[in-house]
Amino acid sequence: MNVMRPMPAGQVGRSVPRLEAREKVTGRADYVHNLVVPGMLYTKVFRSTVPHGRIVSIDTSAAEAVEGVYRVVTGEDIRKVVPEPYYGPAFHDQPVLALDKVRHVGEPVAVVLAEDPYVAAEAVQLITAEYEELEPVFDEVEAVTSRAVVHEVLKPAGTFPDLKHLVGRRDTNVALDYQLRRGDVDAAFAAADRVFEHEFRTQQTMHTPLEPMVSLAIPGHESLTIHTASQSPSFVRIEIARLLGWPENRVRVVVPHLGGGFGAKLYIKLEALVACLALLVRRPVKLSLTMEEQFYTISKHASTFRIRSSVKDGKITGRRCEVFWNGGAYADIGPRVTQKSGFTAPGPYDIDNVSIDSYALYTNRPPAGALRGFGIPQLVWAYESHTDLIARELEIDPVEFRRNNILREGREQATGTAMKDAAIEAVLEDIVARMDWSKPFDRGTGPLRRGRGIAIGFKASISPTTSVAIVNVYGDGSSSLYLSTVDMGQGSDTAMAQIVGETLGIETENVKVIHPDTDVTPYDMATLGSRSTFHMGNAVKLAAQHARDQLDALARSLGLPPGTNYGPKDLFKKKYGMQAGNIVGVGSYIPDYKSPDPATGLSDNVTPFWMIGGTGVEIEVDTETGHVRILRMVNAVDCGRPLNPKIVETQLSGAALMQLGFTLFENMEYDNGQVTNASFADYKIPGIHDLPARIENDIVEAEQKSGPYGAKGVGESATFGVSPAIANAIHDAVGVRLTEMPLTPEAVFRAIRAQKG
């Protein structure tokens, strides 16, 4: 740009304090929970008490008789507004309210609407339903062959070409059977020195955003406005418009601040329900879930992973992966997890012969979707535990064994896509160096035994996806950024403003970020899978460049010489004779992508970028009780060039601690499909006392050449290595191997006892 800028570049790479921090800590930030509009009705949901059953009858009369109840609504009433009320991003399988059948405990069956939320809560307890109970299935492996069938017919959404072959498939719980074939695995097994096989399992957990899901729909004249705590406003608009058979422009979705998301608030959660209710009763309708209800809304996939590897001369020559994902009663985004994460199941290793089968299963549990890592932590847990076990068996140092097999820059990953800008080795070596791996290690005394472990993982960005951004430079030279990326606490507003600041040469703090409002902000696929920094970041940079180019053109048209000291404000003044006008820069970004061959799963361009993360831990095991204490945790990632190092660091510690909870104790426990610990009193997440005694977060020197200012996503990368690093360290400390999460003290204790005989 030729127009002189008031300050030099240097916005990117600076730890700009979070733009919204003051608003949040002083309680001024706006959340949907605080939003009240005139005439609003509150909703309380009546939920299924059986895991699988046909609805025989629903009795709402007693609830309707409660004074103050405005209306009670069931699934059949919803049909008056939407004849085919089934939604979902991959499958149109989820009814707005249950129709004919219920498929999990906690499934919404009816709702009470009242002006007073306490009246609604009391009345909902008076609703009764009769079910003809059907045999349920809860386990993902049993679901493959079980007599119990959750959905009689598969209903893929039709938007994904790789789901087309599933249309109309009957009497199966397999929602997606993804496969990849590369080389000849059987031949590799036959020619190997040794073959190793293990099975690893993970449990179902929950996102526990501190702000539970909440949505408010306001009917207008041939229009509808939805205020919602959503990570995907554009998707919500498109899906609600599809359900109603309306054009997109009649549905407006507004998203203020979010109190956490972690993947729980993607796609449709409460929006379809409040939209239908608002249109049915022609009044604004709000639904705020309790923490308890979130456990029945969305969760993280439980999984089983069978992994088999052949080794010859210390090199892994073949690997067969069979992964079963417990998707619960509705597919949500599970089939994407199955495929988009599934193809990385062999791990960041250079293996010529690979076979992957990854299955999305329906079961009678609450649905599972995306949770910080999109399935990757489940995979890394298995392949990095497996890697350590092989190294141990072969009596090779686990770091050395990884070095021998690591996937180097330029080599092809299982899909056939060459690794580019993927600092896998650098991440491994960074952790190894920090932990002084080659130095002697204090192994503890008495009942306290010490051990250490390392694990690395990687993830492909979900593709192809689009982001659009607008930068508006106003008459006085100040500017705003319009985008539908949702800042749910990860700091995207600040990072995106930094990109605008860097490109326009203005201070980040002076860029105003306009929060998602689909009437105002342009399309974005969703805030998920660490895609925003790269995709939206590129779109924002293009939008800012577009604005800058127009400012340059304006200067030229006004006859000013290149390098003029006229700022944007002066240009507008000179052109319009007063403070007036504006310049709108638009940026739209979609990366190149080649979809994998349906038969082989191969593609030479399967992702626009790779995320790399690893963890090393030093731990102490109390051999008398099984308690594990993390003395030290080292997390390292390749996130390209960090736009804001401080935010990256908090993303690393946050991701690692979240995964620490999933690793050590978080677990949704069940009794015949009922979650028995669905509250914060009984479902424990890590607190301040659970932090490792020492935690270090490292950003390795790297650059994502195709990213905005060399950056790429980082919200999930520090989750990858945590679980297997800890299991590997436990093995190192006390010689026992846990293959099922969570790694509770009792599990460790029992393994130690079993080993002693």
Partner 1 sequence: MRGFELVHPASLGEAIKLLDTDDPTVRPFSGGTALMLMMKAGVFQPSRLVDLGGIEPEHAAVEATGDGGLKLGAMATLAQVERSADVMRVAPVIPRAMKRLANVRVRNVARIGGNLAHGDPHMDLPPVLSSLGGEVAVTGPAGERRIAIESLFSGYYETVLSQGELIRQVILPPQRGWASAYMKCTTRSADDWPALGVAVSLKLTDGAVQDSRIMVSAATEKLTRLAAAEAALEGAQPGEAAFARAADAAATEAETIDDARGSAEYKTELLRVYVKRALAEAVRNGAVQ
Candidates 186-194, 632-640, 676-684, 727-735 — which segment interacts with partner 1 by CB under 8 A? 676-684
The answer to whether residue 686 forms part of the interface with partner 1 (CB under 8 A) is: yes
The answer to whether residue 750 forms part of the interface with partner 1 (CB under 8 A) is: yes
Question: Rounded to the nearest whole angstrom, what is the least distance from the CB of residue 665 to partner 1 in the complex?
Answer: 4
Exactly one of 23, 502, 716, 740 is catalytic; which is it? Answer: 716
Candidates 166-174, 550-558, 664-672, 718-726 — which segment interacts with partner 1 by CB under 8 A? 664-672
Rounded Cα distance between 707 and 709, Å, is 6
Q: In terms of CB distance, is 692 or 710 closer to partner 1?
A: 692
The answer to whether residue 684 forms part of the interface with partner 1 (CB under 8 A) is: yes
Question: Rounded to the nearest whole angstrom, what is the least distance from the CB of residue 119 to partner 1 in the complex?
Answer: 5
Among 116, 199, 412, 570, binds partner 1 (CB under 8 A): 116
Rounded Cα distance between 523 and 483, Å, is 8
Rounded Cα distance between 218 and 421, Å, is 47
The answer to whether residue 67 forms part of the interface with partner 1 (CB under 8 A) is: yes
The answer to whether residue 122 forms part of the interface with partner 1 (CB under 8 A) is: yes
Q: In terms of CB distance, is 208 or 490 closer to partner 1?
A: 208
Q: In terms of CB distance, is 542 or 657 closer to partner 1?
A: 657
Tell me the three state secondary structure of residue 713.
Answer: coil
Rounded Cα distance between 645 and 129, Å, is 54
The answer to whether residue 444 forms part of the interface with partner 1 (CB under 8 A) is: no
Selection from 433, 395, 266 nearest residue 333 by Cα: 266
Q: List the Cα angle 704/334/302 in 5-degree steps.
A: 100
Question: Rounded to the nearest whole angstrom, what is the least distance from the CB of residue 684 to partner 1 in the complex?
Answer: 4
Residue 701 annotated among the catalytic residues of the structure: no
Q: In terms of CB distance, is 17 or 444 closer to partner 1?
A: 444
Rounded Cα distance between 388 and 200, Å, is 13
Candidates 86-94, 265-273, 438-446, 669-677 — which segment interacts with partner 1 by CB under 8 A? 669-677
Host H or E run for residue 230: none
Among 676, 693, 694, 755, binds partner 1 (CB under 8 A): 676
What is the β-pairing status of strands 299-300 and 368-369?
parallel
* C-alpha dist (Å) from residue 510 to 19, 213, 473, 477: 10, 32, 12, 10
Among 144, 448, 685, 695, binds partner 1 (CB under 8 A): 685
Q: How distant is the alpha carbon of residue 415 from its chain centre?
A: 22
Among 249, 600, 625, 755, binds partner 1 (CB under 8 A): 625
The answer to whether residue 142 forms part of the interface with partner 1 (CB under 8 A) is: no
The answer to whether residue 682 forms part of the interface with partner 1 (CB under 8 A) is: yes
The answer to whether residue 118 forms part of the interface with partner 1 (CB under 8 A) is: yes
Count interface residues toward partner 1 (CB under 8 A).
31
Q: In terms of CB distance, is 681 or 754 closer to partner 1?
A: 681
Look at phi and psi of residue 377 and say left if phi exceeds 0, alpha if psi is from -120 to 50, else beta: alpha
The answer to whether residue 669 forms part of the interface with partner 1 (CB under 8 A) is: yes
Pick out residues in 597-616 that bind partner 1 (CB under 8 A): none
Question: Rounded to the nearest whole angstrom, what is the least distance from the CB of residue 628 to partner 1 in the complex?
Answer: 11
* C-alpha dist (Å) from residue 515 to 233, 588, 660: 10, 18, 32
Question: Rounded to the nearest whole angstrom, what is the least distance from the CB of residue 40 to partner 1 in the complex?
Answer: 18
Strand intervals (E) in 670-740: 670-671, 674-675, 695-699
Q: In terms of CB distance, is 74 or 663 closer to partner 1?
A: 663
The answer to whether residue 745 forms part of the interface with partner 1 (CB under 8 A) is: yes
Q: In terms of CB distance, is 322 or 690 closer to partner 1?
A: 690
Question: Rounded to the nearest whole angstrom, what is the least distance from the CB of residue 620 to partner 1 in the complex?
Answer: 15
Provide the residue type at 713 as one letter.
G
Half-sphere exposure of 640 (CA within 13 A, CB side): 27
Question: Rounded to the nearest whole angstrom, what is the least distance from the CB of residue 116 to partner 1 in the complex?
Answer: 7
Candidates 187-195, 229-237, 367-375, 740-748 — which segment interacts with partner 1 by CB under 8 A? 740-748
The answer to whether residue 394 forms part of the interface with partner 1 (CB under 8 A) is: no
Q: Residue 349 is encoded by which pair of tokens? A: 């290793």
Among 295, 343, 589, 665, binds partner 1 (CB under 8 A): 665
The number of beta carbons lying within 10 Å of the beta carbon of residue 346 is 26
Rounded Cα distance between 372 and 261, Å, is 9
Among 679, 693, 694, 705, binds partner 1 (CB under 8 A): 679
Q: Residue 694 is encoded by which pair of tokens? A: 């020492």
* C-alpha dist (Å) from residue 755 to 201, 387, 552, 670: 20, 21, 74, 29
Pick out residues in 561-600 that bind partner 1 (CB under 8 A): none
Candidates 128-136, 235-243, 435-443, 659-667 — which segment interacts with partner 1 by CB under 8 A? 659-667
Rounded Cα distance between 653 and 438, Å, is 26
750 φ, ψ (degrees, to nearest 5) = -65, -40
Q: Residue 595 is encoded by which pair of tokens? A: 């979809």
Question: Rounded to the nearest whole angstrom, what is the least distance from the CB of residue 391 to partner 1 in the complex?
Answer: 31
**What is the secondary structure of 32-78 as a DSSP string?**
GGG---TT-EEEEEEE-SSSSEEEEEEE-HHHHHSTTEEEEEEHHHH
Tell me the three state secondary structure of residue 503.
Answer: helix
**3-state helix, strand and coil shares in percent for the chain, rounded to the nearest 5:** 30, 25, 45
Q: In terms of CB distance, is 348 or 661 closer to partner 1?
A: 661
- Contacts of residue 404, defined as CB under 8 A and 6 or more positions apart, other chains included, come to 314, 315, 396
Question: Rounded to the nearest whole angstrom, what is the least distance from the CB of residue 625 to partner 1 in the complex?
Answer: 6
Rounded Cα distance between 434 and 218, Å, is 55
The answer to whether residue 222 forms part of the interface with partner 1 (CB under 8 A) is: no
Candidates 30-38, 212-220, 477-485, 687-695 — which segment interacts with partner 1 by CB under 8 A? 687-695
Question: Rounded to the nearest whole angstrom, what is the least distance from the CB of residue 121 to partner 1 in the complex?
Answer: 9
Pick out residues in 296-315 that bind partner 1 (CB under 8 A): none
Among 197, 409, 604, 624, binds partner 1 (CB under 8 A): 624
Candidates 20-28, 315-323, 699-707, 738-746 — which segment interacts with partner 1 by CB under 8 A? 738-746
Question: Rounded to the nearest whole angstrom, what is the least distance from the CB of residue 291 to partner 1 in the complex?
Answer: 11
Cβ atoms of residues 392 and 421 within 8 Å: no
Candidates 172-180, 380-388, 661-669, 707-715 — which segment interacts with partner 1 by CB under 8 A? 661-669
By CB atoms closer than 10 A (0-12, 13-18, 19+), residue 336 is buried
| Interface contacts to partner 1, rule CB under 8 A | 66-68, 116, 118-119, 122, 125, 624-625, 661, 664-666, 669, 676-677, 679, 681-682, 684-687, 689-690, 744-746, 749-750
Active site residues: 716
